[in-house]
Copies of this chain bind each other. A is one copy, B any other.
Amino acid sequence: MSKEITSEEIQNILEQMGEKALTASRALALLSPDDKNKCLLQMADAIEDSAKEIKTANKKDLKAGKAKGLSNAMLDRLELTDERIEAMAEGLRTVASLDDPVGKKLSSIVRPNGIKIDKVSVPIGVIGIIFESRPNVTVDAAGLCLKAGNAVILRGGSEAINSNLVLAHCLNRAGVIAGLPDGAVQLIPVVDRRAVGVMVKMDQYIDLIIPRGGEGLIRAVVEQSTIPVIKHYKGVCHLYVDADADIDMAVKITENGKCQRPGVCNALETLLVSEAIADKFIPPFVTSMCKNKVELRGDDAFCKLVPTAKFASEEDFYTEYIDLIFSVKIVPDLSAAIEHINHYGSHHSDAIITDNPKNAENFLRGVDSSTVYHNASTRFTDGFEFGMGAEIGISTDKLHARGPMGLVELTSYKYIVYGTGQVRE
């Protein structure tokens, strides 16, 4: 990028990509499950065959990343080793083996006038994925979109641009060999940030935008997009230990939710404890947290019981730490817990631990989140754990897809009406 690219050039590049994707999507929509699977397997082979090329491009990104002073954690996420390249290829083969989500008859009705109305699943069309860092998203997301019959336009992070370009090119080329029109998989080659602004307004070509990354990126996309966006900003997940909780279970599930993998969106961030059970629950809970080196930030009542805890600010209860830090609050009852979650939460995943079925029922109905749990860990909010076979993301929105999104959520539907000459009276 020696010379600055103009806005008009960006617009032109993206318009061309959009048109190509739209054309490719029409052809993709007509492919049989076998045809699509052949493409996916061809792509898996192509990834393996291009391992050398991929690693060369990846080395460029790593070198630039080091020069830019990326953290070791970031560099690790960026690196493509032989094992990771192999894993991407295997991922495509797994996707090929899944049930095809397109062409399913979702409902069928014959009306009194004799017309038969079938509701049938179809691809969405063109999907735009905006993501940061890990280059494997290029392959994973493209594979899932293609399996559901969609063309995909990818926009990756600038740190991985060389790796991403080689990967996308490799997939698209393999698609063409397997019979797809050019353009089923495209990656935006323009690193400039303005490209995202142009992309999310191309509603004449793109049907859905899925942004994956930090809250700032996602908010910017939502603010600008004229295309439907499916997203989750963050995961401020709660566990409520009810007055009638089994203490052992509550401690075990809390530990799992907070400590098993604190850096993910379905990990716990806030614990709510019924004051009726605080005396019994808190000692074993604190022991478990100490063992795991978790920093506790409590409200006044909790800090009175646990003097080593820090005081939690109002802001803490809105915060997704994605770290070994835990907000804790003692609440008077179930309805206070529900109110807290609906107010401070992110509508992602929230759990109640109780042996009282009535309280469980009220919690599960009253908490307005994509996934609610009774006596299980919030860590299960995941497409694979839900038996979807794959996951393209998690939605905390209420339209189209809510909770984990698998292949089914990458489809739309159409109504097909069969008549014998019927007209409207």
Contacts and interface: CB of A to CB of B under 8 A. Distances in A.
A424 interface: yes
Interface in A243-257: 246, 249, 252-253, 255-257
A414 B374 CA distance: 14
A6 interface: no
A254 to B, nearest CB: 10
B26 A421 contact: no
A203 B222 CA distance: 10
Contacts of A207: 397-399
Nearest to A376: B419
Contacts of A418: 374-376
Nearest to A382: B424
Interface in A51-105: none
A374 B420 CA distance: 8
Contact of A416 (B249, B372, B422): B372
A371 interface: yes
A115 interface: yes
A197 interface: no
Interface residues of A, number: 66
Given A222-B203, A365-B30, A370 B417 contact: no
A414 B399 contact: no
A373 to B, nearest CB: 5
Interface string A22-37: 0000100110000000
Given A117-B386, A385-B424, A373 B125 contact: no
11 contacts: A26-B342, A29-B365, A125-B398, A223-B226, A228-B397, A260-B424, A372-B416, A375-B418, A377-B422, A398-B412, A403-B415
Given A26-B366, A380-B424, 15 more contacts: A26-B368, A111-B386, A203-B222, A207-B397, A222-B226, A228-B228, A253-B423, A371-B414, A375-B418, A376-B418, A376-B419, A379-B423, A380-B417, A385-B424, A402-B413
Interface of A: 26, 29-30, 109, 111, 115, 117, 124-125, 203, 207-208, 222-223, 226, 228-230, 246, 249, 252-253, 255-257, 260, 342, 364-366, 368-377, 379-381, 385-387, 397-400, 402-404, 412-424
